[in-house]
Each structure stands twice: as structure tokens, then as C-alpha cells.
Amino acid sequence: MKLSCLSSATRPGDKAYNEDALLLNDAFCGIFDGATGLTNSAPVMSNYPSDAAWFVEESKQYLELHLQDTSQTIQQLCQKAMAVCRSRWKGAISVDAIPSAGFAAVRQNGTVLECFCLGDVSLSVRLLSGAFLYFPEQELSLLDETALQAAIAYRKEGHSWANAVTHIRPLLQKHRRMRNQPGGYSALDLRGHWLNARTVSLPFSQIRSIFLCSDGFAQLIDFGIAKDLSDLHRRTEQEGVKSLLSLLTQAQQTDQNCVKVPRFKRMDDATAAILQPKDCSTLQSLL
């Protein structure tokens, strides 16, 4: 059995470059949601527009070459990818300076589908029975919600949303320092260790489709275009990633001041993929 991609796409947000990345072939799929350090300095990796863009590209290149090695777990291969990235990093290894990334991946390994998830990326599996399996993350989402509420309170004092986001930067830095620490959140970073990776193996024969997306794409839920993750999974099966990205872009452009949906960026990078086993009954026959 192999994985067949029904639809996939990645799109940059406010910036001209993308700090998300999509890793895809017929045996595995992964989505990176990169984050640059909060030092306000120029990129350490000067050949790239940001250190996060470098980090996700380096990680992607390593895993593209090695994820097919099913004698090693996805977690072990991620740790080796971090060692390679660390050896090529030209700056200090400090939590404030180094880039990081949320990462979700699935891999076909014999008769099972291996799932791996770190950070605020979404992964769901739809079974042939119609049930959905989720791999929810709470830690970073709760920290981000605390920061957003602080920004909302500051805007209510008469400040612009841009100034409000700048005002909470110290709080965002405090939260970033909790990465891969007890009581904090998990993500890939150059130190190569993390907490609370969400992992599971599922029988390939029971799977109808697999959905992965970055938090930028998941804003379709915040805007009310999808009700929840299962609805977003279902909609992506039916309509495709690019169609939903167009709806998301329209919604973000009509909410330039982040009033309807308070968020750190007017447009975040957005990436998603929907897959199914190749020898599964065709999707149309199941709709």
C-alpha cells in the first residue's frame, strides 16, 4: 500500500517568503510550520530570507532522503535531522536565537500508518467507519490565547492592533522560552529534544483519508468557514486545498485589522495536504 495525495498546497502569508514547508511522496507526508527566533536581528543564515525558512528547508531535505528508512522511527529521524541542522547553524544555540518548527508527519510502514506530531500543527485520520481520530495540541494554543487576550485588552485602550501585537512581544518571548521545557510546549528545534510528541500507529487497511495542516490553514475554523477539524478534513476532501486557501485569503483580506479574528499576523503562512491509501476504494464512491 502507498499514499496518494488528493490535494496539497502551501502559501506564504504577509511576507514574500514562506516559513511553512511541505514534504510529500508516495510513502510519507510532512508539514513544517517554522518560527524564527525573537531577537529582532538579521538572519544568521544569510542566504535565506529568515532563519525559520532555512530551518524548515534543511529539515525537509534531510527527511526527504531518510524517512523511507522504516528501521528508524520518525522521532529518531527528526532527532538526526536536528543534529545535521545544528552542525550547519552559524549562530549561538540559545532559545531566543534559534529557529523552531511545529511538525506533523505520517508514514506508511508495511501494514500500518505511523503518525507523528509536534506543536500547533493539525493531523487527523478518517477511518472507513466514518470516525475521525485527532492528535490535539493544547500547550502552545493556550499560551497563544493568553497573549492574544493581552493584545485585545491593549487595543481596547485605544491602540492599533499593530501596536498591540508589538506591546505583547515580551510575553511572546517569555512563552517562546518555554519551548521544550516542563510546563511548556513542544516543537522541533536545534537542541534536538522535545516533550510530548504525539505518536500512534494505525492499521492501514482501516484508513479512508489523512489530513495535515499548519495553524495558518486551520484559521478556516476561526473564520467560521469550517466548524471544527473534522469538518475541515471533510471539506478538504471534497473541495481541495487550493479552493479552501482562496476562501481563507478572502476572509483574511476582509479582516485587515484582525477584528473578527484576532491573530498575530493578518495573513499567516498556510499549508495543507489530504491523502488516502492508493488501494482504497475511490473517494467519490465513498461520498
The mean pLDDT of 85-105, rounded to a whole number, is 93
At 282 the pLDDT is 46
H-assigned helices in 156-282: 161-167, 169-176, 219-222, 229-239, 241-253
Predicted local confidence at residue 73, as pLDDT: 97
Closest CA to 175 of 202, 152, 197, 145: 145
Q: What does pLDDT average to over the chain?
A: 93
Strand partners, 39: none
Question: What's residue 263's pLDDT?
Answer: 97
Give the contacts of 176 (CB within 8 A, at least 6 positions apart).
35, 37, 38, 95, 96
Q: What are the pLDDT digits (tens) for 220-256?
A: 999 999 999 999 999 999 999 999 999 999 999 999 9
Task: Name the pLDDT band for 95 (thresholds 50, 70, 90).
Answer: confident
Residue 92 has pLDDT above 90, yes or no: no
Residue-wise pLDDT for 8-50, tens only, equals 999 999 999 999 999 999 999 999 999 987 777 889 999 999 9
Give 3-138+187-279's CATH code, choosing from 3.40.50.720, 3.30.420.40, 3.60.40.10, 3.90.1150.10: 3.60.40.10
CA-to-CA distance for 252 and 151, rounded, in angstroms? 18
Per-residue model confidence as pLDDT tens digits over 122-167: 999 999 999 999 988 889 999 999 999 999 999 999 999 999 999 9
Do 81 and 59 meet the contact criterion of CB atoms below 8 Å apart? yes
Nearest Cα to Cα of residue 172 among 154, 150, 193, 139: 150
Q: What percent of the chain has pLDDT over 90?
A: 87
245-252 long-range contacts, Cβ below 8 Å, gap at least 24?
A: 245/9, 245/11, 245/217, 245/270, 245/272, 247/220, 248/217, 248/219, 248/220, 248/223, 249/11, 251/219, 251/220, 251/223, 251/225, 252/219, 252/223
Query: What pLDDT, on the 0 to 100 scale, is given for residue 196?
Result: 84
Confidence of residue 287 (pLDDT cuts 50, 70, 90): very low
For the residues 258-271, what does the mean pLDDT come to? 97
What residue spans of the chain are helical by DSSP H?
51-66, 74-88, 139-155, 161-167, 169-176, 219-222, 229-239, 241-253, 283-286
Residue 1's contacts (CB-CB under 8 Å, 6 or more residues apart) are 108, 111, 204, 205, 277, 278, 279
* pLDDT (0 to 100) of residue 284: 45
CA-to-CA dists, residue 120 to 13, 31, 39, 245, angstroms: 17, 11, 22, 19
Residue 285 has pLDDT above 60, yes or no: no
Task: Give the pLDDT of residue 286.
Answer: 47
Q: Which residues make Cβ contacts (< 8 Å) with residue 240, sequence separation at least 6?
A: 6, 7, 274
